[in-house]
Structure 1
Amino acid sequence: MRALVLREHGDNDKLQFVPDYPTPKAAEGDVVVRVKASSINYHDVFTRRGMPGIKVPLPVIIGLDVVGEIAEIGAGVTGWKVGDRVLIDPVNRVEGGLMGETQDGGLAEYCRAKAHQLVRIPDNVGFEQAAALPVAYGTAIRMMNTIGKIKPGEKVLILGASGGVGVCCVQLAKLAGAYVIACAGSEEKGRRLKELGADEIILYTQTDFMKAVFERHGKPHRRRFVEGGGVDVVVNFTGGDTWVKSLRCLKLGGRLLTCGATAGFSPTEDLRFIWTFELQVLGSNGWEREDIEKLFDLVQAGKLQVLIDKSYPLEQAKEAVRVIEDRAVFGKVVVTP
């Protein structure tokens, strides 16, 4: 089969398109899926580079998000048949492991997974739409709804708003009735975020987002029971030099939500703002199976748009990884074999 294979960690040139990689076979409890679409996440970039403390068995086919049709069913598998349209939950919640990291993922013509990882794709949801959901949208819905508990009328500042997680966060915050302030790197991305529902745009390439919050919404102060400046919630999954500025944007009792650190996991910290303003720093890790099912419901109801910016054939999958690494996208990037 055709596949994009990682044999050693490093830059994007370490990814190799292989036209004759071994096709997986279904063992007991397995299914083999004929891949129809796989979306790229920043986690795939981290896997390619190599992550401290995480041992990735090489060679490996990257790609966490995988959807397609069942092509083969192993012994002991019930409830499924060849041809069923399925999404593979990237997390193996029984034996452990992650698609595209500890086992071969979706950037190939075929992909093997455990039957218990399968989620049925509704008939009116397309393969590319479904492929965009698990990691990015699943992470967003858990962070915003389950962990963050966004409320009507709250001011929510979203950093990285134009990426896969970000565009979902913008929509979920609006669905919750919040006032959404989205950070974007260009006027074009800002325009598209406004179309998606953002109430306000901060172009971080032109102005410091913290100063923009202070100017537009006031600087937070410590007086209780007095209306103060700042925002109720900051969504920050970039880390790096945005971390302390995010804390400083929060009003008394504000919440900082995080699910990653694409710009650096060891930022400068300033604990004074956390205790002085009684802030809550809330981490959110991944998604649950029911989150994927909730996303399908929202997509079917027309309440949630799946934003797909670019689609690449498998032969150009390495380019798909590059544009994610360079943040040259709005929403999701999908690869179709």
Structure 2
Amino acid sequence: MSETMKAVICHGPRDYRLEEVPKPVPGPGEALVRVEAVGICASDLKCYHGAAKFWGDENRPAWAETEVIPGHEFVGEVVSIDAAGSKRWGIQVGDRVVSEQIVPCWECRYCKRGHYHMCQPHNLYGFKRVTPGAMAEFMVYPVEALVHKVSKDLPAAHAAFAEPLSCSLHAVERAGITFDDVVVVAGCGPIGLGMVAGARAKSPAHVIALDMAPEKLELAKLCGADIVINIADEDAVQIVKDLTDGYGADVYLEGTGHPSAVPQGLNILRKLGTYVEYGVFKDDVSVDWSIISDDKELDVLGAHLGPDCWPAAIRMIESGLLPMDKICTHQLPLEDFQKGLDLVASGAESVKVSLIP
């Protein structure tokens, strides 16, 4: 077996290169995994483009690192694991497995209190040198990783969708949706579609999806939206108010990362409504905070990663409930990673783009 492999290497913003690098060697208790598919996330794209959230600015230090293999939503086959790792994770050679996107330290106050997704060191696959990602032929799952088995009957790109879907489901959980709620989901990309499906699973009165692309709104219907609104042509705020006797939505889930979606959400919500922010923003966002406080007394919640939601996400994908063939629109060879990034940047031709090493 070759001692090298092909991998995409991040050398900084807009400087990603396909290179031949040493194949990783697992340590005690670790798993060597042959990557079957890796999705390209909107956060991967924003990191590629140099967003301050990743590379820092005058208000924040850099978080991402160079000389790192990107890719944090993936699936692969175990090719090597020792007895300790096999026992800890309940997996063996030949199993198809995913690993949660964060590799917790298990020692900080957040990990010890059960909030491992907010781990202080915050080592995510694909952004830190200590946790190389999956845009490569092989990768290693460290001993601290959280690992789950996935059905081999799924196409690889579908199995890798467990990562964005777990994120969507966490945002839904944060919202505390009840049966009588009118839920609005902003954006029908991979995260928004997962939010639609997760919200529908809570059986609220309505799940309303917002987007500017008619084909994505049709896809939202297949995921569980009973009302869709094209915000390019229709006044979403007025439509929701008309539906709710002038009050507004109970819950707003933001999954676009576009600055305009924030004031849209504040205006579409009723008094005492709940706003959940999942989107990752390239630029800073300004809003009238008096809407949050004096006008409506809103609950504004953040959502990050997909803690404790991976088993549910995997079950949902394996159940066939989601139109995965329509969600996973593009699978490209690793060599075409730049084309993949460009497809995600365009947004017009794709929903979920994956690389197949």
Q: After TM superposition, where is structure 1 displaced by more than 6 Å over at least 4 residues in a row?
A: none
Counterpart of 1:67 (choices 75, 80, 92) is: 75
Number of residue pairs aligned between Structure 1 and Structure 2: 320
> How many angstroms does 1:263 deviate by?
5.5
Question: SS of 2:12's equivalent?
Answer: coil
> What is the match of residue 272 of structure 2?
253
Distance 2:63 2:281 in 1: 19
Contact 2:10 2:70 in 1 (8 A): yes
> What is the match of residue 140 of structure 1?
168
**Cα distance change of structure 1 residues 48 and 29 upon mapping to structure 2, 3 Å threshold:** farther
Contact 1:4 1:318 in 2 (8 A): no
Distance 2:285 2:351 in 1: 26
> What is the match of residue 222 of structure 1?
none
> How many angstroms does 1:329 deviate by?
5.1
**Cα distance change of structure 1 residues 263 and 150 upon mapping to structure 2, 3 Å threshold:** farther
Matched, 1:229 2:251: no
Letter in 2 for 1:292: W
C-alpha distance after superposition, 1:166-197 (max 9, x if no partner): 11111112221221111121222222222333
1:89-128 alignment, distance < 5 Å: 89-94=100-105, 96=121, 97-102=123-128, 103-117=131-145, 118-128=147-157
1:196-207 alignment, distance < 5 Å: 196-207=223-234
Counterpart of 1:318 (choices 317, 330, 338) is: 338
Distance 2:328 2:6 in 1: 23
Question: SS of 2:8's equivalent?
Answer: strand
Decide which moves more: 235-244 or 32-41.
235-244
Contact 1:159 1:182 in 2 (8 A): yes
Contact 2:11 2:67 in 1 (8 A): yes
C-alpha distance after superposition, 1:98-129 (max 9, x if no partner): 10111221111111221442221234444222
Contact 1:7 1:15 in 2 (8 A): yes
> What is the match of residue 177 of structure 1?
203
C-alpha distance after superposition, 1:34-65 (max 9, x if no partner): 10011111111233234122333321111111
Distance 1:280 1:201 in 2: 24
Letter in 2 for 1:247: L
What is the alpha-carbon root mean square deviation over aligned residues?
2.3
**Cα distance change of structure 1 residues 182 and 63 upon mapping to structure 2, 3 Å threshold:** same
**Cα distance change of structure 1 residues 148 and 46 upon mapping to structure 2, 3 Å threshold:** same
Distance 2:200 2:194 in 1: 10
Structure 1: 5+ residue stretches without partners: 219-226
Matched, 1:88 2:99: yes
Distance 2:83 2:341 in 1: 35
Contact 1:299 1:305 in 2 (8 A): no
Structure 2: 5+ residue stretches without partners: 107-120
Counterpart of 1:243 (choices 262, 271, 282) is: 262
1:259-274 alignment, distance < 5 Å: 259-262=278-281, 264-274=283-293
TM-score, scaled to structure 2:
0.82
> What is the match of residue 17 of structure 1?
18
Distance 1:244 1:158 in 2: 14
Distance 1:192 1:126 in 2: 19
> How many angstroms does 1:202 deviate by?
1.5
C-alpha distance after superposition, 1:275-332 (max 9, x if no partner): 32221111111112x3111112223333344421211111112211222222235542
Counterpart of 1:209 (choices 236, 239, 249) is: 236
Question: SS of 1:105's equivalent?
Answer: coil
Matched, 1:8 2:16: no
> How many angstroms does 1:229 deviate by?
2.4
Distance 1:263 1:152 in 2: 34
Distance 1:16 1:254 in 2: 46
Question: SS of 2:102's equivalent?
Answer: coil
C-alpha distance after superposition, 1:222-251 (max 9, x if no partner): xxxxx6421111111325133223111111
TM-score, scaled to structure 1:
0.86
**Cα distance change of structure 1 residues 82 and 57 upon mapping to structure 2, 3 Å threshold:** same
Question: SS of 1:181's equivalent?
Answer: strand
Question: SS of 1:182's equivalent?
Answer: strand
